[in-house]
Amino acid sequence: MGVDGKEIWVTEDVDKAELFAQFYTKIFTVENDDGLMIEMQGEAVCEEIVVIGHGPEKVIKKINPNKLPGPDFLHPRVIYEVKEVIAYPLTLLFNKSLSSGQLPEDWK
């Protein structure tokens, strides 16, 4: 939902970040007395976030397949080459994580 209560769709990263910033600005304060302190101002109600089918594939297409593997030892070329196959399962996984409010242990 947008700030005015109307449902809106955003696709650009900057717009998504702005909506999250508006939401969290309403419910948190940050004070820098003895470091960073985050304090909740009210009940946090965030509307449902849904990852749509082509989202993961669009992100995977931006991967540089010529880079070295990361800490998971999975080569980017492998992910890049199977992007069409893994996009839908990743969409399901991300949506399950968002709806349950839990991250798989391996992601932490």
> 1 and 40: one domain?
yes
The DSSP element (H or E) to which 87 belongs, if any, is: helix 83-100
Q: Which domain does 105 fall in, by range? A: 49-108
Give the residue from 53, 54, 16, 23 showing the smallest Cα distance to 41. Answer: 23
How many domains are there within the chain?
Answer: 2
pTM for the full model? Answer: 0.53
Q: Running DSSP on this structure, what letter comes out for residue 70?
A: -
> 43 and 73: one domain?
no
- Torsion on CA atoms 56, 59, 61, 65, rounded to nearest 10: -110
pLDDT tens sequence across 10-49: 778 888 778 777 776 665 555 555 554 445 555 555 567 7
pLDDT category of residue 83 using cuts at 50, 70 and 90? very high
- The dihedrals phi and psi of 10, each to the nearest 5 degrees, come to -125, 145
> 35 and 84: one domain?
no
